[in-house]
């Protein structure tokens, strides 16, 4: 999960082990995309960065955003780990919740939106990941559904933490193929890593698992 720290002391990045942390001194714009539940922030030099969550020193309205204040970074870090445990792509404060940074965050104070729902297909088990001709044996949990708007099929899921997959993602080798036992390879993309090292993968079109 990518987290952008904007104007937050650099030392705070050490309190987020396992997260893909981006440090930014300042930004000139920030925009949340509800279709992907991702923030896009633009630095003064025009460079843009996308992140699942932003932590800022200024007020921000929207999901997946936290304001850094003295003494509350441990609270924020725990909220981010709650997102991982809930397998959530969005976190929002409940309308009538009373947030106190002096105690641990209560999951009941937040609304968590899962990555997907109403699944049509699912597969859990071994698979082979191929990148640039090299094969990696992995364990996956894949699922998918038919998009009602355009009729396309979208599949996605998680690759259990594997050091070779982590290294590929960090080197920017995100385009991969996935093949299940007895199946055909399908193109996918490594989307992000969660705090436990699992890799999220997405794809469009015929999935790796059997589909009518």
DSSP secondary structure letters along 103-165: SPPPGGGEEEEES--S-SEEEEEEEEEEETTEEEEEEEEEEEEE-TTT--EEEEEEE---HHH
Integer angstrom CA distances of residue 125 from 113, 131, 141, 185:
25, 19, 7, 15
Helix (H/G/I), strand (E/B), else coil: 78: helix
Please report the pLDDT score of residue 124 as a whole number: 83
The pLDDT assigned to 116 comes to 58
Q: Provide the pLDDT for residue 17.
A: 83
- Are 6 and 24 in contact by the 8 Å Cβ rule? The answer is yes
Q: pLDDT tens digits, the chain, 212 residues: what are they? A: 899 999 999 999 988 887 889 999 999 999 999 888 999 999 999 999 999 999 999 999 899 999 999 889 999 999 998 887 777 889 999 988 888 888 899 988 998 887 654 444 578 889 999 998 889 999 998 888 776 556 678 888 899 999 999 999 999 889 999 999 888 999 999 988 887 888 999 988 888 988 76
Two tokens at 16?
């987020």
Structural contact between residues 53 and 66, judged by C-beta atoms closer than 8 angstroms: yes
CA distance 146 to 138: 26
Q: What is the pLDDT of residue 120?
A: 44
pLDDT (tens digit, 9 = 90+) per residue, 116-137? 544 445 788 899 999 988 899 9
The reported pLDDT for the residue numbered 118 is 44
DSSP state for residue 19 in the 8-state scheme: S
**Beta pairing partners, 24:** 6
Q: Give whole-number Cα distances, 20 to 100, 110, 188, 197, in Å.
A: 26, 23, 20, 10
State pTM to two decimals: 0.61
The Cα 168–Cα 170 span in angstroms is 6
The pLDDT value recorded for residue 187 is 94
Q: Quick count: other Cβ atoms within 10 Å of Cβ 76?
A: 23
Decide: 94 and 67 in contact? Cβ < 8 Å.
Answer: no
- Residue 147 is predicted with a pLDDT of 65
């Amino acid at each position: 999960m990518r987290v952008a720290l904007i104007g937050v002391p650099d030392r705070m990045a050490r309190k987020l082990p396992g997260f893909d942390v981006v440090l930014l001194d300042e930004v000139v714009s920030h925009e949340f995309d509800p279709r992907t539940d991702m923030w896009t922030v633009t630095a003064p030099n025009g460079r843009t960065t996308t992140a699942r969550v932003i932590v800022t020193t200024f007020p921000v309205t929207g999901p997946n955003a936290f304001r850094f204040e003295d003494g509350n970074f441990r609270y924020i870090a725990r909220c981010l780990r709650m997102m991982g445990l809930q397998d959530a792509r969005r976190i929002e404060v409940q309308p009538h919740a009373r947030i106190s940074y002096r105690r641990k965050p209560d999951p009941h104070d937040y609304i968590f939106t899962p990555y997907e729902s109403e699944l049509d297909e699912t597969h859990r088990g071994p698979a082979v990941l191929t990148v640039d001709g090299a094969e990696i044996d992995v364990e996956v949990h894949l699922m998918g559904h038919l998009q009602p708007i355009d009729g396309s099929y979208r599949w996605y899921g998680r690759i259990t933490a594997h050091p070779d997959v982590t290294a590929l993602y960090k080197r920017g080798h995100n385009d991969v193929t996935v093949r299940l036992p007895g199946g055909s390879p399908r193109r996918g993309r490594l989307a992000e890593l969660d705090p436990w090292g699992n890799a999220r993968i997405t794809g469009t079109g015929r999935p790796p698992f059997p589909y009518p």
